[in-house]
Chains A and B, each alone.
Chain A
Amino acid sequence: MLTWVEKYRPQKLRDIAGNPRAIKDLVKWAESWKKGIPTKKAILLHGPPGTGKTTTAYALARELGYDYIELNASDSRTKDIVDRIIGNASKLGTLNPNLVKKVLIIDEVDGIHGKEEYGGLAALKKWIKTSLQPIILIANDPWALPKEFRNLCEMVAFKRIDQRTVLKVLKKICSREGITADERALKLIATNSNGDLRSAINDLQSLSEGKKKISLDDTDILTIRDSELRIFETMARIFKATSCDRAKEALRESEEQPETVLMWVAENLPIEYEDPSDLARGYDSISKADIFLGRIERRQDWGLLKYAVDYMSAGVAMAKKRRYHKWSRYQYPKILTIYAETRKKREIMNSIAEKLQGKKDTYEKCHGSKKLMKSYLPIMRIIFNNNYEMAAQIASEFELNLEDISFFIEDNETAGKIYYRAKELTSERIKLKTRGEKQISLLEFG
């Protein structure tokens, strides 16, 4: 089934709700292409989600009779792909001479990042400079883009849509769908949307699922929407989904990274699913998604991402025999809290391991991997707590600082003592060494 967002997406510029000035600026720039090539060959539409940026771009292309191509976040935008698609499209003409120009629409430009898309943005920058075709870039957060990139673009800001306009759109959809809705309920949806028309329409659709009447009571399930709360919505949409497409769509529209969503799904699965066999199948899917994420990490093969994504969304959604009709209070993943709490500790462990390896020094100390070094840590802890002199010798040899020593010993005073003893040993060693060198040089010249 078509989502209402798709079904009621305006096809014409004049039907687009809100942001009249931004649209006017965009049209002016696009019209200027009919006369020649403007200095700024790209325009950057930026603003919060659900304010009509993408809709406007497509409506514009259609209205001006331009051909268009698109490159969005579902395509991996590596340097090669940008070169092939944007490069060729920007320097070649159109296939149909009746369509004078071809608009290149690149959605979620601020989402081009990571190892897999390394070089994508730089390639894009190159093609913008030489483009013979208008390029429309779309981003939520333009400030995430490098300054020299922004300087190449005409900037057009899309603002949050005001509540009255959102309300008007909701009313129109209700009348087209034959839904009678309490005005107060619609107002609440509009307020909650915080100027995000897409989420308002999605809310309206989910509230009216299976019925033709919306009362104020129905809006109880709406929570105040802001970026932190969005992930709850993603969870609900995945867990409640009864088709693969719906579940995948939920993940696709989420702004979180798949890794994060997986942690959330793993944390909240037992809160939503009650039947043990549903749970078993759900966790099976989660584990498979995790295996794929692991492979991606190891092999840097981002082509596998679609499998991870399908398992964590569609796989989890299809694990249930039937939909649970209940409201669940989803929780923040504990693993993220643990990560945050132990970050400092993990950093110290890493730094000690590096010092044991001694790679930063002139010679390698303990030959071995970091993992191996970390396996020494428990033994070192025993030594540090029982034999202070040996501890000091170790600390001196590996140049451990006070923070490193405190990792092994709870008691600050003892740690301090070991640290000073280690310093003594180091200076003695240096003295011995320089004396040794002196003797050598005497021998050489003597």
Chain B
Amino acid sequence: MFKARLADPKILKYSIDAVSNMIDEAGVSVTKDGLRLKAMDPAHVALVDLELKKEAFDEFEVEEPLVLGIDLERLNTILKRAGTDQILIQLDSENNVLKIRFKNSSTRTFDLPLIEVSEEELKVPNLDFPSQIEIPPKILSESIKDAEIVSDHVTLMVDEENLFISAKGDLGNVEVKVPKDEAKSFEVSKSCRSMFSLEYLKDMIKASDIADSVKIYLGDNIPVRMDFTTENARLSFLLAPRIESE
């Protein structure tokens, strides 16, 4: 038995929108603490860890822990229809479907068939990041959008004073400088830089609209970790660096 109600669908809509482009299907584990989705994209370059705490929901009931195999693309198209309606989610284990109900003046019910997913627990690589910077998500998303104009990849760089987000392309360059004072927290043990593909970043920043802050974990030519957080939810990404060809 699993039942949940969300008066404001925004948080679910945006977080699924941010992950559904890179990950086709995933096992969502449901426990009494909330929802958790951990998955890797098929190219093994991005890892998603989404946590929606029970408190994010207005109502949340689950009898025993379970794993729901979900086609994220389908779920995303359904959630796009939600508008600002209240969302009710209910598991119909008999028919192996997830009933998603939008309630407003009318009641619309979608059946999302569940799929089989491997039960294998995903190992999240343990990484040592020399730099950790927390900034308002808006700054990050705007700079990623700036970079998109000139290139398909972006360099993230930090030194003791600033965070730089820059891109170089045939049509020109762009550099965004975020001084230390603008950051909510700024821990840099040494300056470092890595380059990343915008194809993934531009999906990831969709989470900016719901997050209060984003924490960026950066190192030298290692994956970047970005944690978008609000009070009751956390959407964390790990993205492999782009190898700079000699």
Contact = CB atoms under 8 A, between A and B. Distances in A.
Contact of B240 (A68, A85, A86, A92): A92
Main secondary structure of the interface of B (DSSP, over half): loop
B54 interface: no
A89 B40 CA distance: 12
B243 A95 contact: no
13 contacts: A67-B44, A69-B44, A85-B43, A87-B43, A88-B41, A89-B45, A91-B242, A92-B243, A93-B221, A93-B223, A95-B125, A97-B125, A97-B223
Given A93-B223, A96-B125, A98-B125, A69 B243 contact: no
Interface string B66-82: 00000000000000000
A215 interface: no
B240 A95 contact: yes
B44, B240, B242: residue with the most chain A Cβ atoms closer than 10 Å: B44
Most chain A C-beta atoms within 10 Å of own C-beta, residue among B42, B125, B238, B239? B42
Given A84-B43, A98-B125, A102-B44, A92 B242 contact: yes
- Name the interface size band of chain A: 20 to 34
Contacts of B40: 95
A202 interface: no
Given A95-B223, A95-B238, A89 B243 contact: no
Contacts of B245: 132
Contacts of B59: none
A94 interface: yes
A87 B199 CA distance: 11
Looking at chain A's contact residues, is the secondary structure mostly helix, strand, loop, or mixed? mixed
B149 interface: no
A93 B243 contact: yes
Given A92-B197, A93-B240, A95-B240, 12 more contacts: A69-B43, A84-B42, A88-B41, A88-B45, A89-B45, A92-B242, A93-B223, A93-B242, A94-B44, A94-B45, A95-B46, A102-B44
Interface in A54-84: 67-69, 71, 84
Contact of A93 (B42, B127, B199, B241): B241
Nearest to B223: A95
Interface in A296-331: none
A133 to B, nearest CB: 8
A88 B199 contact: yes
A94 B199 CA distance: 16
